[in-house]
Amino acid sequence: MKVFNAKNAAEDYMSLHTLTYSTPEMTLLKFARWLGEMVDVECKMDAEKCPNDDGMHPKHRVPRLMLYIEEREEEYRFDVSDEFLPTGAVTTLFSKVKDQVQRREEGKKKEEESIGKKSGDESKNFKFCIACGTRLDMYASFCIECGAEQA
């Protein structure tokens, strides 16, 4: 089965082109135009067996899209995940942010544990909504059930 490898095509395009001052529509149009550009490829067949009649053997001109067509044995499954997986320079940025968030959460847990140990009561880590009585985090400003502002 022949399949278009869109992921590799998009990664190649993004590595060669800057997105400075581009809208999503402009980027998509440029990407489509880039895929349609004619490129020279080497023919790996003998001149007698070459199916192209363009008279340019051993080089041929084909749309760049053809470079990303792959032959696969198994059924192709589209990756429809909406999860953001950072790559390149963004990976470094997100790893720093992730580390900061983890440190902040660990600090909150230690603080909550020390408050609980000082008072000897775990019930100090939560409160109840003043409007509906739902159990809330001690620092919640709004109720997650009714939306009432907490004092």
**Can you tell me the mean pLDDT for 2-21?**
82
pTM metric for this prediction: 0.44
Confidence of residue 150 (pLDDT cuts 50, 70, 90): confident
pLDDT at 44: 75
Q: Check if the beta carbon of residue 125 is closer than 8 Å to that of residue 115.
A: yes
C-alpha closest to that of 86 among 28, 14, 6, 18: 14
Confidence of residue 35 (pLDDT cuts 50, 70, 90): very high
pLDDT at 113: 72
In the predicted model, is pLDDT for residue 10 greater than 80? yes
